[in-house]
């Protein structure tokens, strides 16, 4: 246990050095045991600042990117957040520490079932999940104060902008081989876009695969 705590402290110090200054974001990352969200062959790397592979060709995002995206969202404890791309469930678990409720969508049923089991085992009860096409969002629960997309889209998905309330923030990667993390704020007459830096994500794929 002491060795794990030391690795967590080292990771948090590295995130601070790389620009994650929001104390609530750092505290949320500290509270979520990343080793519960990585595949067994990579358990020794759970608290290293790197992305790790999971099933279905997906990854657990690098902690720095989780920190950047979470910090850029500026989540408060009264907010309803939509996540597109549940994956292992790690990002949703971090957000669940900060907001009222997370609604998360995953196109791979097997990934979602495993993520839901992790949420239950960690007693995280403010996450609602479903299998679906993330690019379509979750219109029945819209509008959302915040939206996070954990796969790279070619363009900002218009259906997600429609589901973002005015004044709300969406953070997502854009691009193909060259990807850029952007922060989108919905305004009364459109959107404002802020560029946060280069990233590398799996692509946002429309539709739901047969499994």
- Kindly list the catalytic residues: 61
The beta-carbon contacts of 151-157 under 8 Å, at least 24 apart in sequence, are 151/84, 151/85, 151/201, 151/202, 151/203, 151/204, 151/205, 152/176, 152/179, 152/199, 152/201, 152/202, 152/203, 152/204, 153/203, 153/204, 154/204, 156/182, 156/184, 156/191, 156/193, 157/204
- Relative to beta strand 52-53, strand 59-60 is antiparallel
């Amino acid at each position: 246990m002491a060795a794990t705590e030391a690795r967590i402290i080292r990771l948090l110090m590295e995130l601070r050095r790389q620009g994650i200054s929001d104390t609530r974001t750092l505290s949320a990352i500290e509270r979520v045991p990343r080793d519960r969200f990585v595949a067994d062959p990579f358990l020794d790397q759970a608290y290293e600042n790197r992305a790790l592979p999971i099933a279905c060709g997906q990854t657990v995002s690098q902690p720095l990117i989780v920190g950047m995206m979470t910090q850029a969202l500026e989540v408060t404890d009264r907010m309803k957040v939509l996540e597109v791309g549940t994956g292992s469930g790690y990002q949703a678990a971090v957000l669940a520490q900060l907001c009222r409720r997370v609604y998360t969508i995953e196109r791979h049923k097997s990934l979602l079932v495993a993520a839901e089991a992790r949420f239950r085992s960690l007693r995280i009860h403010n996450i609602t999940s479903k299998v679906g096409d993330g690019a379509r969002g979750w219109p029945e629960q819209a509008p959302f104060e915040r939206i996070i997309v954990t796969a790279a889209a070619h363009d900002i998905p218009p259906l997600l902008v429609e589901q973002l309330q005015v004044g709300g923030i969406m953070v997502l990667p854009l691009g193909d081989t060259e990807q850029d993390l952007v922060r989108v704020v919905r305004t009364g007459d459109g959107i404002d876009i802020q560029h946060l830096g280069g990233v590398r994500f799996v692509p946002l794929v429309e539709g739901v695969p047969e499994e």
